[in-house]
Structure 1
């Protein structure tokens, strides 16, 4: 633990201990004045005590963030002991004020504070005992009457016993202060660690909430030992990747669907080219684009700009390219897409409100159908075109090539067979109708197969899956139970002899609410909720689901279907959490569990 963190705890301890010491010093001052009334020792009572308090508070104010005044207090308490001994003319009981002082000094949890008072007491006792002894030996009244002890003098044995007991007591109290200091440090460590863990947990909660709200760009400062945070970061990375994949898949699927729609609604090459390039430039957030379609005149192949977006009008008229000419001609000839990020000067200018500028990215895609290039799409952008966007362009290239080929074929066919237009239209109509019928027939067959498979899977799930299922007649007699529910309630082989009432607590079965419950079912009203069933072996099942009435051809309830899920473990967990302490995080966790349960139910 850092010294700075410990200082916070010991500052609080020192603050409360200062109040105790200041009270004791003030009490000693008043006690000295009180003694002066009886022994006429006003001079020492009114000088020694106030000077000690003044020195204490001056030191405290001069060094506000230090412990110097603690040592002053220790020395001052020793001086007070000497004062009381003098005022009481050597009364031995006054020596106990030094013991009291050491006991109070333990509050600071600093054994070093005992050094000043112990040294003072030892020096005081040794010097005064010696002075009194000299006074007795040499018959000096001034030395003999220093009021150190009521005995004639303190011999060496008495002094050693006296000083030894005090030293032992000081050592015991010093060791106690040392242990208290260690315990305080350990307690402070534990509290700070708990606070850090609490802070980490709060950060984890905030980070998890941000992730749950889809804010994957939220940063998180991972700390040592924060395994939950590490797991959350890993989860965030996976969710980001999943979201990115989902975004790219959505981009691809939406783009394919909308391009298919454009192709389907286009009647000629010009309409197809204009609508297609306009859509692609906007969808890819590009700035400029063009569709070049292959044409043949007198056995000469050319690429004609049929559709453009944001091209200058002058360039629109000039865009006829032969195979191999420029990047577009090179793409057509080599049947390979071209992706440029280092654009030659004046290759292509994009005009905006800020003037003209070269693009940062150019992508040129060949439109291939049956190994023949039907055209080329060129796109230019100020920003980078991502790989998944290029993959999208390559994927639609074949579809567009096919569409161009189909449109061209349709135009040629229309031109060559204009005389048989009516017959061709009729044939096309019949073919379309037959195609639709075949598609509908195929779709119907697929739907029937899918429904058959789903029915088989449903039956299998009812018997072996997690769903609990029971069929009752309108009187509540059990007709059918799936394998899982029968196993949980231990009623295999004999459920047909039971009624639903046999599985319900007798007190509930006899209640008015239960009778109303069955009345609602018999009148065809669905009942949802959590239901508790009891098996033969005393085992209890908590089922969350619904009772659904099934009507016959006459509109009456012929049977009732109970279906749901086993929530016994979840309910037991919720009941256990509700018995815990009122801790807010526990409540929040319980609330989250219930909300999750509600979401799952819905």
Structure 2
């Protein structure tokens, strides 16, 4: 049987082998290229071969993977950045200066930009708010600058009013220049990001860079701006609340110091007169500690109609919430002020966006006066119109009452002090007359209190104890002058009778000398209360039978 044979020319065989070799090399390079792509080497270049279709497919696959990788890196960069700055905002939300300093420094580093500035809305001047540069950063160093920008002035002020991000790639020559070690140059990109929450503006961030800021980083800045604005709003409320609490505390401390000063004055006067001591106790009970009621808040429409109020305000004014909702603010006003031109102007200015702060007198549900220290602030919508008015206040009624009471007590104290001085002068004069009378008596006289302590004595008594002058000192223990326990007990028995209202007269026979007759009479105060005894001692001559 014959076998079919195909004759191939030698030249055709060599061409066929060369083609097969090229295909093998192409497959080998494609395999190597795919493995490198699997390893993440997306920058590898593939040389074009005769098989354009395979080359195009592999390059397209690499381009798609590069695009996916780039998008993933951008998303990761945004996510990590938002988390990083959320931590910064959370850690430094109690100090505006420290917050803006850390925020801007880390933002410049994270974004890789050349200059940055942060402007915050300053409302200290209620009628003229402005943008204040709180932090500025350039070339890895903090710049200590202070700058004020009026609303609507320049690119910053205009961007604040428009409330929209601003991206500039064509920079005016007179706008800003970045200074480096090699000189000054205009940036290629200026970005101004509004800091707003619910269309309420709190400030701006301005960034300048030699390189263009890509769209995904622009979106990152806009999202970060909302977080910064929310934190700034919280910081502003906390600072305002702290300021109100500090003012209340200062008032309380001032009144406490006045109370302490008055108490000391009363203690000094009570040392010399029992009546003034009683009066001092009354004054101390009359002055009460000032207690802060906390922060009360209430919201109104621009014309003064009540929308809502917190529990502190409701308790302070004595109403239920449903009793005041829908009613006008004038229900808290005295009748003689609720319809005046000044009151109408007050609400007209609030509806125009003007803030008010100070001390206010209002009336509660019972018609009683309530004094408040607080502020009225306008809340605007996204068009800038005033839609609500918010009032924050603390109760200072107790402080006002204490101030009035303190003034009255000072006036009363001044009058009583004059009376006391006159009374003391009369008392010294009477004491002088009494001592003169006692010293005219040759018999020893001594006044004792209920505890046997010496109050006063005459010269005859002092002469009896001239060898022991300390025995005649006011406050000395009379029992120590008696020479035996029996004599001391006898004196106690006599004093007990005297304190019950009796006059005791007894004869005592000492071991040496003549018998003595001792007379103890009750000693009474101005209220006719027995507070001690007056003792008189005389010698008695015994008569002998003739």
Bin for the TM-score computed over the shorter chain: 0.3 to 0.5
Hey, which of these two has a bigger chunk of strand by percent? 2
Higher RCO (Cα < 8 Å, 6 or more apart)? 2
Give the TM-score of the pair, scaled to structure 1: 0.39
- Structure with the larger helix share: 1
TM-score (norm 2): 0.42
